[in-house]
Structure 1
Amino acid sequence: MRRHTFHALPALRHAVRRLGTANALPVETRARLVLSVSTLADSVLRAGYGVTLESARTRTKDRSSAGGSLAVTLRTPAPVLAPPAGAELPLPAQVSSDAATWHVPLPAGTPEIRIPAGRHSDDATTGGSGRLRGPGGTPAGASGGDGDGAVSDPVTENRLLEEELRVALARVDSLAADQRRLTHELAETNSGVLALYVQLEERDEQLRTAHGHILRELEDALRPPPIAVDGLELAVHYAPAGTDAPTGGDFYDWFILPDGTVHITVVDALGHGVRSTRSALNVTHAVRTLALEGHPLKSIVARTDEILEPLDPELMATVLLARIDPVSGDLQLANGSHPPALAVRDSGEKEYLEVRGRGVGYPFPGSERVLHAKLDEGDLLVLYTDGLTESRRDPREGEQRLAESARRHRHRPIGEIPGAIAEDMHTVVLHPDDTLALAVRLSPRPR
């Protein structure tokens, strides 16, 4: 083991650097060792204490496989050894309050270096005179002494510093090259991700388009086909509460009875989505069957409840039934908890046709009476569900706006009226719901 004491930082750095060179440490490892020792010793030397540098080599049993290790220990007489706050040692060490030890692996085949110790030398590579020796063991000269009797060789010191600087610059260049390569790879990756994102967006748009086509086809399959009746114009607008379902609980049905009158059913089943659609279809099919069998209009709502209650005990639906004679314009209405029909005369006069009753699945279901009215040429009848008038959560305000919208659009082509009314009513939607608007107009007869 070699042990030497130092009172100045330049001599300590020189000693560690020469120690690393003598033991054939890689230049980068040598530089890290010099910086680590200097970092810990700086504050101690500034405080006026001396530091002791110890070095010892150990070899493995299998000398052919490794060169052993070099143990370098920095000691101080006072417990003040600590790295500066926030600083990290370039070469990790085992640090206590008065000592720090580095175990540095030696390259395989490193020859044993025997260096005689001086009387009070400041370097591990001194002769008996206590002076540093340059390459070949020649004295290094008197200049550059550290005040402790150790003298460094400026030429050798500069050469060693240049070696460390070249290694550091090569490392910086390597890191810069790695950064450029990684930046290029990242740019290519980002480009690939962007291209993939565009492809996914296009695919998603294709799927949405295909999904929309399927939903429209399904909706068309569920809706009753249009009917052509001389003297009567009919049109309908439907929109589900959400775009994820093709239909909901708002449904309608129209057909011609054997006596030539037109029967119209408007249903609003509780809930949204496919389940409410099934409930609404059950109601319309039951009503159609009863109407074609000749049951009185007033009894159909209650009779529908009797038929469906065993099949669907949780079913709740409001129902509005209308029968129109296209020749005379006679109108009959039966209601089960549904919003009233709206009649807009050709002159612009507006009237809600109120009929009391309870819907399917409600307590005591059925229409209390049948309302009789008459439509004249050009008169417009609007049947709808509450999603049209309650989008702003105020049914009364919604009914006022609906009446005004129907009056304003009453002379437009019948196919445009339901959609135009829905557009007026849904300028602000605070409560989204399935929406149905059905328009019937008694067309002028040719004279």
Structure 2
Amino acid sequence: MKPQITTLHSLAGLRSALRRLAHRAGLPVELRYRLALSATRVARAELTAGRPVLLETVPPQPTDRADGQLDGRTGGRADGRTDGRTDGRTDGRLTVRLHLPHAPRRPSLDGLPLPAERLPGTDVVWRVPVPVPPAMAGDDPPGLVELLEEELSAAVDRVDALADDHQRLKHELAETNSGVLALYVQLEERDEQLRQAHGRILRQLEDALRPPPVRVPGLEMAVHYEPAEKHAPTGGDLYDWFVLPDGTVHITVVDALGHGLTSTRSALNVTHAVRTLALEGHPLESIVARTDEVLATFDHELMATVQLVRLDPASGELVLANGSHPPALLVREDGEASLLEVRGRGIGFPLPGSERLLRDRLGPGDLLLLYTDGLTESRRDPREGEQRLARAARRHRHRPIEEVPAAIAAEMHTVILHPDDTVALTVRRVPG
């Protein structure tokens, strides 16, 4: 069949010609209106400007029938000859070519509903597969209105199908979201269980590391510990208190360098060594230096400050040794406060040991406060922290003993340079 060429001067004429042509060729409705929309977009500028366009169409070509086989390349017999008869089959393509002879530039082919092929110059061609043989399409095409109604009906059916797909996808998405939400809830519940189990383990570990106050007549004791990091509550600030065979109470406060489990191990080594030496009867003034000797053989990296206190519950006699640790604070019953300062160097420091022993007496109602530097580190200097500490201890000294260290720590931590492990340990002599 020879190509058919039509000169068109309007968009309406182009659409009408394409629809009738596509119907005769047996194109499905969707391909038909995609072809019409695409050709309209390409030719719109020319026809709107009053310049004609040429529509060239080549319908699907029937294949020649041979007595025997058809050659797959020529459509005829293997010897290249045909007998002029056809079997009703076509080459399966409708070719539509738009000539834009007067177009000043090549038309854009971006975003066309039916992709086109660009030819040299300003020509554009569509090669559309034809699934239905032309004979099935009928020889008398319906009118343009019927064709448009058919396309509209197909478009409505398509929209309905898309709406159904959208509704189905929404339902599937809702079910998926519901499943994901349930999974999140399960994971959150599991996380909460793990947090609770983790908290129980840490509390048990703290209980094992931090002995309860010693119960002896004539003395009240309490302690408050606050970690620098909530997720690592076993830092290097530790304490130990026990009763010696002669009835005096021994207290050790240690601040090992660093944070976390490594510093905890170092602090435990110090408290255990001090306890052993004290129970063996070593003089208090020698224990800091002897502890360094004992631990230096297997922990070369250990550095810790340490403070040692001996207290006679009956007489109130107080003896204190120090190794680079912040001074203890003594608050008398009448509110007078003083720092008990003793020079010395800590475990792992050069020339470790306490230079001397400081002796004092704890009277009825007097309060002794031992602490680590996390309690007094303020925004300026240690002296300012010590002054604030004395004011806080005076203010809270008459509280029940179990409340005193936590109340002092809470007031001190309203001004802080940086978070650090904190121990606040209080001892009060009971009147009478």
TM-score (norm 1): 0.85
Q: Provide the secondary structure at the position in 2 that maps to 1:283.
A: helix
Q: Provide the secondary structure at the position in 2 that maps to 1:266.
A: strand
1:106 is aligned to 130
User: Counterparts of 1:27-426 in structure 2 under 5 Å?
Assistant: 27-56=29-58, 57=60, 61=72, 68-80=92-104, 82-83=106-107, 88-96=111-119, 97-111=121-135, 156-390=143-377, 392=379, 394-426=381-413
Q: For residue 430 of structure 1, report the CA deviation from its aligned partner.
A: 4.3
Select between 390-399 and 165-174 the one with higher mean Cα deviation: 390-399
Runs of 4+ in 1 over 6 A off after TM superposition: 62-67
Residue type of the alignment partner of 1:46: T
2:17 is aligned to 15
What is the alpha-carbon distance in structure 2 between the residues aligned to residue 235 and residue 188 of structure 1? 57
How many pairs were matched up?
A: 407
Q: Provide the secondary structure at the position in 2 that maps to 1:244.
A: coil
String of CA shifts for 1:75-127, please: whole Å, max 9, x gaps.
12135464569x621111113541111121111544499xxxxxxxxxxxxxx
Q: Provide the secondary structure at the position in 1 that maps to 2:19.
A: helix
Q: For residue 181 of structure 1, report the CA deviation from its aligned partner.
A: 2.8
What is the alpha-carbon distance in structure 2 between the residues aligned to residue 346 and residue 64 of structure 1? 120
Q: For residue 367 of structure 1, report the CA deviation from its aligned partner.
A: 1.1
String of CA shifts for 1:29-71, please: whole Å, max 9, x gaps.
1001001111111111233332222222357959999962212
Q: Residues 342, 351 of structure 1: CA spacing in aligned structure 2 closer, same or farther, 3 A cutoff?
A: same
What is the alpha-carbon distance in structure 1 between the residues aligned to residue 340 and residue 356 of structure 2? 12
What is the alpha-carbon distance in structure 1 between the residues aligned to residue 400 and residue 286 of structure 2? 35
Q: For residue 185 of structure 1, report the CA deviation from its aligned partner.
A: 3.0
Identity among equivalent positions (%) equals 64
What is the alpha-carbon distance in structure 1 between the residues aligned to residue 381 and residue 164 of structure 2? 69
What is the alpha-carbon distance in structure 1 between the residues aligned to residue 291 and residue 179 of structure 2? 61
Alpha-carbon contact 2:93-2:127 (below 8 Å) kept: yes
What is the alpha-carbon distance in structure 2 between the residues aligned to residue 254 and residue 296 of structure 1? 17
2:27 is aligned to 25
Q: For residue 257 of structure 1, report the CA deviation from its aligned partner.
A: 1.4
What residue ranges of structure 2 are gaps of 5+ in the alignment?
64-71, 76-86
What is the alpha-carbon distance in structure 2 between the residues aligned to residue 371 and residue 291 of structure 1? 17
What is the alpha-carbon distance in structure 2 between the residues aligned to residue 372 and residue 299 of structure 1? 16
1:142 is aligned to none
String of CA shifts for 1:345-377, please: whole Å, max 9, x gaps.
111111111111111111121111111111101
What is the alpha-carbon distance in structure 2 between the residues aligned to residue 420 and residue 259 of structure 1? 33
Residue type of the alignment partner of 2:264: T
Alpha-carbon contact 1:237-1:419 (below 8 Å) kept: yes
Residue type of the alignment partner of 1:342: L
Select between 89-98 and 378-387 the one with higher mean Cα deviation: 89-98
What is the alpha-carbon distance in structure 2 between the residues aligned to residue 66 and residue 305 of structure 1? 102
Tell me the C-alpha RMSD between the 2 structures. 2.5
Residue type of the alignment partner of 2:267: A
Alpha-carbon contact 1:40-1:81 (below 8 Å) kept: no
